[in-house]
Amino acid sequence: MFDIRTTNEPEFDDSVVMTLTDEETREIGKLAVDLVPALPDGTLDDRELLTAVEVFGRFLPPRLGARLSEFRRHGNPFGTLVVQNLPLDDPLMPTPSDGVAPPWTGVPVSTVVQMAVTSWLGDVIAYADEKNGALVQDVIPVRGAEERQENTGSALLELHTEDGFHPYKPDYLTLLCLRGDRDDQARTVTGSVDSLLADLSDACVQALRRPRFVIQHASSFSAPGTPPSFSEPMAVLTGPAYRPEFTADLYAMRPLDDAATWAFDELRAAFRGRLAGAVLRPGDLLVVDNRSAVHGRTSFRPRYDGEDRWLRRCFAIADLRRSQRARAAGSQVCAPLHLLAGPAEVKGHARG
């Protein structure tokens, strides 16, 4: 396992971080408060609601809109953008100690602000297997799940492409911090293929471009009590040589032959010294380009007392129509994975 705690990664620098002024924060908060009463109070997967939130997003302060547009079109060498000082619900309810998230109407300002920002990057998307298909998902530590390599855990979360095994994986993810880790130990870390490509040998790059890797499905995408299931064989690197797209999971990805294993080991080593990160504070929103960057998190200690770390997660996809066969008419939630295609059989590669 690649331990991101040993890399001594620096803080995200000024090219990655944008801090809203207090005036901009108040402006966004007022727009959100005015919008919420006009929205349907049921599911977020509602055409009228999603249209209203996207229109709201076009009224965000021009400085923020320009930064999001620039990131969407051109990215940056880190594959990451951090927006600080976004408005949140005040007062904020306690962090659910049982891991059961409240309805979105319990945190309405945070919800519509995050979705509005995310709408600048693409169309919001979700997956029926994950968090019951919620378009905005609560990332809360769950008692008994501490060691899981999933969003309910609090142990070290390894670097990974979000839902990299899925045929319609998100192009972007946003993480909005509602409540930070009180011990300042939960450090979110990202690493971009753009920053490490020059460190990889030609032979490694060639091996990473072959479809000789699989990723084990997260437990929520697999039926309880069934054997581990895996993605179809895929390449780690695809697309243009000068700026490839990147899919990797340093915990759940399995090379299928010796050449792939050797290349994956070289890739793993190349991440050392190429990561950056931060402890997220309330009002911080982290944007990750899921096509070029991986992300992870250092461990922290939850207390399950209503004051634990609480993030909210939202996904976006650049071309919603590409996933049309996977979604019911009018919905932006993909059907369960097992209904889309049969998983590849990969013997001898149980997740360890």
Closest to 196 (Cα-Cα) out of 7, 6, 5, 1: 7
Q: What's the number of CA atoms in the CB half-sphere (13 Å) around residue 333?
A: 18
Kindly report, residue by residue over 14-54, the tens digit of the pLDDT: 889 999 999 999 999 999 999 999 999 889 999 999 999 99
- Say if CB 263 and CB 204 are below 8 A apart: yes
Question: What domains lie within the chain, and their CATH numbers?
Answer: 4-192+277-340 (3.60.130.10)
For residue 2 the two structure tokens come to 């690649």
Q: 348: pLDDT confidence band, cut at 50, 70 and 90?
A: very low
Is 309 or 225 the better-scoring residue by pLDDT? 309
Question: Which sign does the torsion angle of CA 167, 172, 177, 178 carry?
Answer: negative
Would you give the DSSP letter of residue 257? S
pLDDT of residue 233: 97
Q: Give the tens place of pLDDT for each residue, 289-302.
A: 999 999 999 999 99
| DSSP tag of 345 | P
**Whole-prediction pTM:** 0.93
Q: Where are the beta strands (DSSP E) in the chain?
A: 17-19, 80-84, 123-127, 136-139, 157-160, 172-179, 187-192, 213-215, 237-238, 245-246, 253-255, 276-279, 285-289, 293-297, 310-317, 333-334
Joined together, the tokens standing for residue 331 give 């919905």
Give the tens place of pLDDT for each residue, 55-73.
Answer: 999 999 999 999 999 999 9
